[in-house]
Amino acid sequence: MVHTDHSPGIVQTQRDWTRTYNALAQAPDAGNTALRRRLIGLSRRLVQEVPRAQLADLRRRAAEQS
């Protein structure tokens, strides 16, 4: 298990990503463009700032703090 100190901002981004993903999963097919764009933006930030090996740890920490 990887233990790292993630900034509060990146943990919040992961929480936002999870909420947006869940909202998109429940949204009707029509009119979900804003959610898809938000998810892409949040994904981009996570990919750029968090090494792949630390993503699982980040998800766990974000879920614990929700």
> Taking the domains of the chain in order of start, what are their residue ranges?
8-65
Nearest to 34 by CA among 45, 23, 49: 23
Cα distance between the two ends of the chain: 21
Q: How far apart are CA 59 and CA 18, in angstroms?
A: 9
Model pLDDT for residues 11-42, shown as the tens digit of each residue: 999 999 999 999 999 998 888 999 999 999 99
The answer to whether residue 8 scores a pLDDT higher than 60 is yes
- Mean pLDDT for 49-63 is 94
Indicate the pLDDT class of residue 66, thresholds 50, 70 and 90: confident
